[in-house]
Amino acid sequence: MLCLADISELFQLEMDNYALRVVKHDHHPTKATKMGGKVQTFYPRKNWSSLMLMNCEYLKVWTLRDVQEQSGAWLHRFESIPDDLIGDLPPEWNVLDRYDTSTKLVHYTEGGPWLSGCENHSYGDIWSAYAREFTELQAGKS
């Protein structure tokens, strides 16, 4: 993921009636494998958990035991959290493999340009430019 805006904007969102706020993607993968050559699966609420604003008071439905013992699928699907306790995040805060002028966070779901075989990702140039800038800044601090 690459954040392109001030993430503190998310903390201004009302949370009183929600356990979570997420971008509610309607993501239906078309490829059989995903990043790293892993088998791609479809499940309800796919990619919703990739960026979450969490209200810990409401998330008491997730006990320590749940987090330690339940499957990753159970957690990613928010199986114990009713729909009405999951609010929306503005969609520009978790954009899947796409970029436009409204994008505030790019989520490289098909593999980021830092991975072998993904160097030529359609939106890899954005990540690469920031990586170069960071490297140059670090070199200047030495």
pLDDT tens digits, one per residue of 36-73: 667 666 667 888 888 999 998 888 878 889 889 998 88
3-state helix, strand, coil in the chain (%, to 5): 35, 15, 50
- Looking at the structure of the chain, the number of domains it has is 1
Classify burial at 99, counting beta carbons within 10 Å of its beta carbon; exposed 0-12, middle 13-18, buried 19 or more: middle
Q: Which residues contact 53 (CB under 8 A, 6 or more apart)?
A: 10, 11, 13, 15, 20, 21, 22, 89
* Predicted TM-score (pTM) of this structure: 0.77
17-36: pLDDT as tens digits: 999 999 998 766 677 666 66
Q: Which residues pair with 3 in a beta bridge?
A: 105
Range of the domain at 83: 2-141
Residue of higher predicted confidence among 42 and 94: 94
Q: Which residues pair with 101 in a beta bridge?
A: none
